[in-house]
């Protein structure tokens, strides 16, 4: 199936299509669609960190889910995906299963992530935040979830070049000396991928 044919697929068809692809073809399609290799960068950083408890906030079509699930499987860990939309979670969950992905290493949680945090107890080694992109909400997410991140643990921020997200990251790091920031944006990515690490 070429790019023109893929672009004619409905959202549900597209989600099912990408999660049936091999890892190499999945990365190629993610790049074709978005012009970025951010999903492979997420996978590489999670594997490099040997993260066992991986949490993703914001699922959408499951590109980052697929990448982080692959890392969780390889690390012998587990991925927890938190998503406000039950429809999105259901579509991605069904697509991952039908595509042969190992969902025994995956738990989906439907709800507002700030509400989910009220009952969260597990230490987090690798966290991805990719949700509202609003300044105030992003700051609240960082303040709320950073307390669960272990020493040398990682928070990745997608769309870190987007002004409200960038400002939230900058302000958070200024106020919290225990965190360092690194720009890990892949080449030709105009959206940005940031990494915060707890000292």
pLDDT band at 187 (very low <50, low <70, confident <90, very high): confident
Cα separation, 83 vs 109, in Å, equals: 6
Cα separation, 77 vs 56, in Å, equals: 13
Helix spans in the chain (H): 3-6, 11-18, 23-34, 38-48, 63-75, 86-98, 113-116, 135-145, 163-175
Q: What does the pLDDT read at residue 16?
A: 94
State the first-to-last Cα distance of the chain, in angstroms, to the nearest integer.
46
Question: Which range is least confidently modeled, 70-74, 87-91, 172-176?
Answer: 87-91
| Span 81-124, pLDDT tens digits | 999 998 899 999 999 999 999 999 999 999 999 999 999 999 99
Instruction: Match 């969950």 to its residue by tokens.
Output: 93
Q: Does 3-198 carry CATH code 3.40.50.150?
A: yes
pLDDT band at 146 (very low <50, low <70, confident <90, very high): very high
Q: What does the pLDDT read at residue 190?
A: 85
Average pLDDT over residues 140-150: 98
pLDDT at 137 over 80: yes
Q: Are 51 and 84 in contact (CB under 8 A)?
A: no
Percent of the chain beyond pLDDT 70? Answer: 100
Cα separation, 90 vs 84, in Å, equals: 11
Average pLDDT over residues 7-14: 93
CA torsion through residues 101, 107, 110, 116, sign? negative
Q: Which residues contact 164 (CB under 8 A, 6 or more apart)?
A: 133, 134, 135, 138
Domain range annotation of the chain: 3-198
CA atoms within 13 A on the CB side of 29: 24
| Span 21-70, pLDDT tens digits | 999 999 999 988 887 789 999 999 999 999 999 999 999 999 999 999 99
3-state helix, strand, coil in the chain (%, to 5): 50, 20, 30
């Amino acid at each position: 199936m070429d790019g023109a044919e893929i672009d004619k697929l409905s959202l549900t068809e597209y989600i099912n299509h990408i999660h049936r692809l091999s890892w190499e073809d999945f990365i190629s399609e993610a790049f074709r669609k978005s012009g970025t290799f951010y999903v492979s960068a997420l996978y590489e950083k999670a594997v490099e960190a040997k993260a066992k408890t991986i949490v993703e906030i914001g699922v959408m079509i499951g590109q980052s889910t697929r990448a982080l699930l692959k890392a969780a499987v390889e690390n012998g860990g587990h991925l927890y995906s938190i998503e406000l939309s039950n429809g999105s979670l259901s579509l991605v969950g069904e697509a991952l299963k039908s595509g042969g992905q190992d969902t025994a290493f995956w738990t989906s949680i439907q709800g507002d992530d700030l509400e989910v945090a009220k009952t969260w107890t597990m230490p987090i080694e690798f966290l991805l935040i990719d949700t509202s992109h609003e300044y105030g909400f992003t700051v609240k997410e960082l303040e709320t979830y950073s307390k669960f991140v272990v020493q040398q643990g990682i928070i990745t921020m997608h769309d870190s070049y987007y002004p409200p997200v960038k400002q939230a990251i900058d302000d958070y790091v200024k106020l919290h000396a225990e965190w360092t920031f690194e720009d890990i944006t892949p080449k030709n990515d105009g959206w940005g991928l940031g990494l915060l690490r707890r000292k």
